[in-house]
Every structure is written in structure tokens, then in C-alpha cells.
Chains A and B, each alone.
Chain A
């Protein structure tokens, strides 16, 4: 049974937001119930590890609670705000692991993949592929992964993939166009 996908198109109800920002824990519990699955899914995709995704999920929701008063509509939907907190936490986690592994160049461009056991990796990949990512071509998926999920700039992505910057931009644009058409359906 596929988990419920939160209705990200709808702006958060004003009353609900007010409750959250007033420190209402029951409201926060509802926020967790509604969005934790999506955030966990994104984290699993970025971190390729259930163990790490679980840790960052926990940290992310604590950060969300601590910073909820800083959210306002000019920042976009609350969902994208929460996702960016989670995504930044994951990227920090990846970078600190690479640093600790002492990779010579200390550059994310040469990041060593994190060791995960095969079962988890297989499961994570197959879950990732059940998503909208499946609709993208492999080239587009690769670019979206680097730019959006791994925090690479377009220049860094071009360098990592050894393709021209223009190609990165073209693939990113095509991917977003495809995702947008999925949204409009």
C-alpha cells in the first residue's frame, strides 16, 4: 500500500500554521504525521542509508520545531521549507562523513560513497525508482540528483559528470519541464 502523499499543492491552513507557531504540540504531531514519510523518503534517497536517514529525520523535525516561527509564506510552501531543512541536514551529514573518511582532496567532487549493506542499498534504490524520478531519463535523473539532492552547483555537477555546463543546464531544464507536466495532470 503506497503511503499517502501530502497535498503539497495546497498552502498550509492559516489556523494550523498559527497553532504550530504558538507552540501547539498536538499540531506539531499532526505535521509530523502528514509529512514525515515524504521527508524520510527524500533523506533515504540522498543518504542511501536507512540508519542515517532516520537520524537526520529526527534532527530535522527538532530543527523544524525550533525554527517554526521563522517560517512564513514568502519562503514557499511549508513542505518545501521543511524539505530544505532536511536536505541541508543530509548534505551536512554527507560532507562530514567524507571529511572524516579523510578523502585526500577533501572535495565533495571526489566523495567516497558511504558504505551501506547491500540489502539496504537495494531496498533504497527500488523505493527511489517507484517515484517520479522514474519518469526522467537516466541523464536527467543524474543531474537532478546532483543539483537538487546532493547540493552541487551546476559548475560542480558539470565537473563531476565530465560534461559541458550547457548540457547540465539543458538536462536540468528538461527534467523540470517533465516534472512540471506531471504536476499539471
Chain B
């Protein structure tokens, strides 16, 4: 129960044992707060869900010993697709048969950096980041990355870095999904 300290919570729990009629009160209290929380509902950015599943998948692969110790290349102007050959040549890192709009496979995950192979069909909505610098390297397809109202046309082999706090969105311009490496580094 959010409004009470741990000591107060323990006290309440003790009271519930000795006074079962209070249980209804406490239930109502919880439900009121649930109701309040639910009333704040607003749709989250569509890119969160694929990243949640990519993260879960990454931990599962790690548990099965399937994560390689191959060092993760740092994205920069000097990046080339061959830097990622270790993953790109592995069929386990392919686009899924039921691909729909987004798919991401995390290549590396540390407290300060997330690197993922991603496919985007149409685009990604406007967002900005305050905790990490986001970098992209395009592998296939073409897209427009609009950063702070300035449009950048990207194609295979192109690299771009998004400054902190800058609002940006992605529009895929190729028929086929845009395949890219996404790297988020703690700022």
C-alpha cells in the first residue's frame, strides 16, 4: 500500500488478522487507488512493446548460454555492416515470419548500453530521450529520420546520432522494412 511506511503496513496487516471486518475497508482502499491509477491511462509509445519482448528474449538466451561474448561494436561514422557479421550471418538473428511493424533482437545489454538489431516497417513515432544518446546504423532499406524538424535521408551504410532531448521520428521510405542497428548509450 503506497501511502504507508513498511512499519505502518505491518501494523495494518496485524490489525487485519485480529479484525477481519477491516479487510473490506482495506480492499476498498486498494481498489480506490487502482481506480485512480487506471483513470490516468494514456497509450504508451508503440516502440516500447517490441523492446520489452526483445529484453525478455535476451535474458532467456543468456540463461541458455546463447549470448556470445563477441564484443559489441560501437556505432560511429566509421561503422560498416561487416562489423556486425557475427550476428548478421547467423540465421538466429533473422526477421520473424510473423513480422508486423517492429521487431528487435538485442545483441548486447549492459547497464550503460543497449544494442539491438531492429526492423521497422513504416516508421517510429516522435520521441526524445534524456538519459541516453541514440545512434542508428542502416543495414537495409531507406528512411527519413527527422531530428528537431530537420530531415535526414538514410540508406544502407549510413550512420546517425540523435542528440539528447532532441525530438525525433522515423519514416521508412522503402517498400521493404528498414533494417538497422540501434544503439542507446547512457548519457
Interface string of B23-55 (1 = CB under 8 A from A): 000001111111111111111110011011101
Interface secondary structure of B, over-half rule = helix
B14: which A residues are within 8 A, CB to CB? none
Give A39 to B29 CA distance when docked, in angstroms. 19
Query: Do residues B55 and A183 form an inter-chain contact, with CB atoms below 8 A?
Result: no
Quick check: is A16 within 8 A (CB to CB) of the other chain?
A: no
Query: Size range of the interface on B?
Result: 35 or more
Give the residues in chain A near B165, CB-CB below 8 Å: 117
CB-contacts of A53-83 with B (<8 A): 53-55, 57-58, 61-62, 65-66, 76-77, 79-80, 83
CB of B85 closer than 8 Å to a CB of A: no
Please state if A58 and B41 are interface contacts (CB–CB under 8 Å). no
Is there an interface contact between A183 and B31, defined as CB atoms closer than 8 Å? yes
Contact B130 A38 (CB under 8 A): no
| B129 interface contact, C-beta 8 A | yes
Question: How many A residues touch the partner, as a band?
Answer: 35 or more
A3: chain B residues at CB < 8 Å are 41-43
Which residue of chain B is the closest to A97 with respect to CB atoms?
B131
Interface residue from A40, A45, A133, A183 paired with B32 (Cβ < 8 Å): A183
On whether the beta carbons of B39 and A131 are closer than 8 Å, the reply is yes
Q: In the complex, A36→B43 CA distance in Å? A: 7
Q: Is there an interface contact between B55 and A58, defined as CB atoms closer than 8 Å?
A: yes
Asked if B161 is at the interface of the complex by the 8 Å CB criterion, the answer is no
Q: Would you call B128 an interface residue if the criterion is a C-beta within 8 Å of the partner chain's C-beta atoms? A: yes
Identity of the chain A residue whose Cβ is nearest the Cβ of B35 in the assembled complex: A183
**B56 in the interface (beta carbon within 8 A):** yes
> Does A52 contact B36, Cβ atoms closer than 8 Å?
no
| Smallest Cβ-Cβ distance to B56: which chain A residue | A65
Contact, CB under 8 Å: B35 / A182: yes
A44 and B3 alpha carbons, distance in the complex (Å):
19
Contact of A51 with B130 at beta-carbon distance under 8 Å, contacts A148-B2, A151-B2 already known: yes
A5 and B55 alpha carbons, distance in the complex (Å): 27
Is B35 touching A179 in the complex (CB atoms < 8 A)? Answer: yes
CB neighbours (8 Å) of A151 from chain B are: 2
Contact A36 B44 (CB under 8 A): yes
Does the CB pair A8–B44 fall under 8 Å?
A: no
Does the CB pair A80–B48 fall under 8 Å?
A: no
Residues in chain A near residue B130, CB distance under 8 A? 49, 51-52, 116
A93 CB, min distance to chain B CBs, angstroms: 9
Verify B3–A132 contact, CB threshold 8 A: no
Residues of A1-27 at the interface with B, using a CB-CB cut-off of 8 Å, are 2-6, 8-9, 25
| Choice from A52, A54, A148, A180 contacting B48 with Cβ under 8 Å | A54
Q: List residues of chain B with CB under 8 Å of any chain A CB.
A: 2-3, 5, 28-45, 48-49, 51-53, 55-56, 59, 127-131, 165
Given contacts A51-B127, A54-B127, 8 further A-B contacts (CB under 8 A): A36-B44, A37-B43, A41-B41, A62-B52, A127-B40, A172-B3, A176-B32, A183-B31
